[in-house]
Amino acid sequence: MKILVAPDSFKESLSAIQVAEAISKGVLKIIPNAEIIKTPISDGGEGLLDALVNDKNGKIITVKVYDPLYRSIAAEYGILNEGTTAVIEMAKASGLELLKEQEKNPDITSSYGTGQLILDALDRGCQKIIIGIGGSATNDGGMGMVKALGGKFINKEGVELTEGGGALGELSSIDLTNFDKRISNCKIVVACDVTNKLTGENGASFVYGAQKGGSKEQLEFLDKNLEHYAAIIRNHLGIEIENINGAGAGGGMGAGLIAFLNAELKSGIDLILETLEIKKHIKNIDLIITGEGKIDKQTLQGKTILGIAALAKEYHVPVIAITGKIGDNIDEIYKLGITSIFSIVNKPMKLEEAINDVEYLIQSCIETIIRTIKLYQSDKF
């Protein structure tokens, strides 16, 4: 039996690679001679770097950058395709994971560190950069990133703006005289797993600002600042960013990448599946096992397992999905190519217990599933 193991991460517990390992152990315990292809995936947020570097035999580069609060840290990104392509996770340099709860503040957090990663990739001769913009701690519209690449954001007194989304309301002009010209010869592709516009009730500030530490008053202030930012870009650069789907991703990083780096925004999962050449594997597969930490109505918004399911449906391959929690009203998911969904939680337990035992729970769940399949598909073993 040939099985494609292609899970996303289980957030706060296991990376996609670790989930794939646990699934594989469960399969091999029941079918020792099973042929397993492990392809950890991501929807463009956490796990993008691991997924692509692992599959493409790339290498990890570590660079000193500034974190969201402008403190020096070491951040990683990947190099693929003999040095021509870089893979950057915004979260590694400008992510919430780098801040303590009391440090979160979208007024002052900056995307500067992500710009430093882009700069390092340019210095190494990369001609294409894939950027995942999930998990950011920022709401600065990519201003910090542009600053790292040589751009200047100036107020009406002629002084450069300070860092963070709270400063954008003072923006009067943009100076790109010293902006890195190598950007024009580099293809920038953004793995974006959301469709939020830059401003408004479904924009960057109101939808994601609270989890970045913003109060209700701050969110209103930040939204107005991004609206002003979009107007300045429209007036000075002739580029409309406010109403583009995905422009609000990464605290407006999507908008900044479009406006200043001429980036192409692509569905995160579609980009991953295309880059990993999943179609090549699916054609000869008997079963796909995928999964993520939670499967619910949000899964219908283009997340990982739906991307896998769409391809599997095209080639008539059954798909088993495992998850830590199954939400309500998920019947639609089955119509889109998922054969069955299983929760790994095998008894009443607290979240902390499930997180601590997640590797065992995944393996145990997979063993049960494979035993059942083996019973009714004995001709394949």
Q: What DSSP string runs through 194-263?
A: ----SSSTTSHHHHHTGGGT--HHHHHHHHHHHHHHHHHHHHHH----TTSTTTTHHHHHHHHHHHHH-P
Average pLDDT over residues 332-340: 88
With bands split at pLDDT 50, 70 and 90, how would you rate the model's confidence at 192? confident
With bands split at pLDDT 50, 70 and 90, how would you rate the model's confidence at 44? low
pLDDT value at 360 more than 80: yes
Phi first, then psi: what are they for 341, rounded to 5°?
-120, 130
Phi first, then psi: what are they for 31, rounded to 5°?
-125, 85
Task: Count CA within 13 A, CB hemisphere, residue 13.
Answer: 22
With bands split at pLDDT 50, 70 and 90, how would you rate the model's confidence at 187? very high
Q: What share of the chain is helix, strand, coil (3-state, %, to 5)?
A: 45, 20, 35
Share the mean pLDDT of the chain.
91
Q: Which two tokens stand for residue 193?
A: 């797993």
Nearest to 85 by CA among 63, 64, 56: 56
Phi first, then psi: what are they for 75, rounded to 5°?
-125, 150
pLDDT tens across 22-32, in order?
999 999 999 99
Q: How far apart are CA 15 and CA 250, in angstroms?
A: 21
Please report the pLDDT score of residue 9 as a whole number.
Answer: 86
Question: Residues 6 or more apart from 231 whose CB is under 8 A from it?
Answer: none
Please report the pLDDT score of residue 303 as a whole number.
Answer: 64
- Inter-residue contact 239 to 232 (CB < 8 Å): no
Q: Which two tokens stand for residue 185?
A: 């010869």
Question: Residues 6 or more apart from 376 whose CB is under 8 A from it?
Answer: none
Q: How far apart are CA 10 and CA 304, in angstroms?
A: 12
Question: Residues 6 or more apart from 52 whose CB is under 8 A from it?
Answer: 58, 78, 80, 87, 130, 272, 275, 276
Distances, alpha carbon 351 to alpha carbons 17, 46, 229, in Å? 21, 20, 41
Domain 2-41+277-380 is of which CATH architecture? Answer: 3-Layer(aba) Sandwich (3.40)
Q: How far apart are CA 180 and CA 64, in angstroms?
A: 19
Map tokens 């709270």 to a residue.
Answer: 166
All CATH 3.90.1510.10 domain ranges in the chain, comma separated: 48-269
- Which has more confidence, 239 or 52? 239
Q: How far apart are CA 155 and CA 343, in angstroms?
A: 53
Q: How far apart are CA 71 and CA 77, in angstroms?
A: 18
pTM for this predicted structure: 0.84
With bands split at pLDDT 50, 70 and 90, how would you rate the model's confidence at 12? confident
Run of H or E residues at 338? none
Q: How many CB atoms lie within 10 A of CB 156?
A: 9
Q: What distance lies between CA 126 and its chain's CA centroid? A: 21
pLDDT value at 154 more than 80: yes
Please report the pLDDT score of residue 286 as a whole number.
Answer: 93
Average pLDDT over residues 244-272: 93
Nearest to 17 by CA among 44, 51, 63: 51
With bands split at pLDDT 50, 70 and 90, how would you rate the model's confidence at 54? confident
Average pLDDT over residues 283-300: 85
Fold observed for domain 48-269: Glycerate kinase, domain 2 (3.90.1510)
Determine the straight-line distance between the first and last CA of the chain, rounded to whole angstroms: 6
- Which has more confidence, 349 or 70? 70
